[in-house]
Amino acid sequence: MSVQEQFTQAQLDSKNLSERPDNMTLLKIYALYKQGSSGDASGERPGMTDFVARAKFDAWAGLAGTSQEEAQQQYIDLIEELKG
């Protein structure tokens, strides 16, 4: 299976985890997904009043420079780890 196919499967698997990950792990999942699917963060950083959107954007922006394939592999590995 290609990395892209594994990434797609991991997206499906992420919806069926036995336990909900903690917020920091959820941010990491989100950031790796966005980096793996869209590349480096783009658009304006959300304002101070939108805490959730700002945290998500910052987590994604923190992966700037990571290749999409590398982010996809990290996403796959993280979901596999969470599946336990």
* pLDDT bucket at 84, cuts 50 / 70 / 90: confident
Mean pLDDT of the chain: 97
3-83 topology per CATH? Acyl-CoA Binding Protein (1.20.80)
| Domain locations in the chain as residue ranges | 3-83
Helix or strand holding residue 25 (H, E)? helix 23-38
pLDDT at 58 over 90: yes
- Half-sphere exposure in the Cβ direction for 45 (13 Å, CA): 9
Single pTM value for the model? 0.94
| Residue 81 CB coordination number (10 Å) | 9
* pLDDT bucket at 41, cuts 50 / 70 / 90: very high
Mean of pLDDT values over 14-26? 96
